Structure 1
């Protein structure tokens, strides 16, 4: 058999395997965006919000410093209750933009640290981790604000 034909068949087989066995994104975001989002989440967010989006313990109770610990971004938290634009603005400009002046949070402001594209990619990555029923409810929230 021709050596080039064998190489072509191997390349085809590997490509087909990747296509069939690498999960397709469920959220509508492309794989490149989700990869960027995962990378940024792991380097910027996971230290507080957890590697599995689980948040910090007792996230609904103020700590000794009077601040709320980092909430989970998985289905057990409240992240999915908020429209994406609100989540984007909280990430970019800080929680105080919505909680009011004087609100103190341990969450950094990412305006000068991440690009808008990186923030949107992180949000797409987080949304991709939610179960289908939570993504569906989040889509309904998004649809309500567009009316």
Structure 2
């Protein structure tokens, strides 16, 4: 079950498990994880527009990361400038190895800035899209990318996101 599927299952099953009398408890349970999260840590919205994400990916990302999320050839080998080519965003790449927060910040701020905020100096070729795309559009693109992954990769990425949120994004 993917992260979005799991959220939907929890949203349906939890109120039934708690019973109608426990509706107030369900609301508190549902909202408790968000209340503990640092508001500065970006979190995937509960609803996303995967179709818009696919269209935005085609417009803003496909030129480097491939129309089919396949990335550039030899993406693990630095080019003449010492930069790594754009990696694939399908299951053959490493995108699914990162929590949502990292993927969001990398897209919004660009690779160099996102990593610098983590104390890592790296000459990434990934530009920031914060001046081009809204936060919601970035989330829609990330949701589209995630929707293409097989179950195993989605589950692993969801676990990393949950661990990252539990850690406050650190």
Would you call these one fold, judging by a TM-score over 0.5?
A: yes
| 1:59 counterpart = 2:78 | no
Following superposition, the deviation at residue 70 of structure 1 comes to 0.0
CA contact (8 A) 1:61 1:69 kept: yes
1:30-49 correspondence runs (5 A): 33-49=49-65
Query: Residue deviations 1:76-113, cap 9 Å, x none?
Result: 11100111011000100011124337643332211111
- Bigger radius of gyration among the two: 1
Q: Hey, what does 1:110 align to over in structure 2? A: 129
User: How many residues end up aligned between the 2 structures?
Assistant: 122
Q: TM-score, normalised by structure 1?
A: 0.75
CA distance in 2, matches of 1:113, 1:75: 27
CA contact (8 A) 1:26 1:128 kept: no
Q: Hey, what does 1:92 align to over in structure 2? A: 108
> How has the CA–CA distance of structure 1 residues 52 and 26 changed in structure 2, closer, same or farther, with 3 Å as cutoff?
farther
CA contact (8 A) 2:3 2:155 kept: no
CA distance in 1, matches of 2:121, 2:162: 32
Unmatched segments (≥5 aa) in structure 1:
1-24
Q: Hey, what does 1:140 align to over in structure 2? A: 159
The partner residue of 1:130 within 149, 153, 162 is 149
Q: TM-score, normalised by structure 2?
A: 0.65
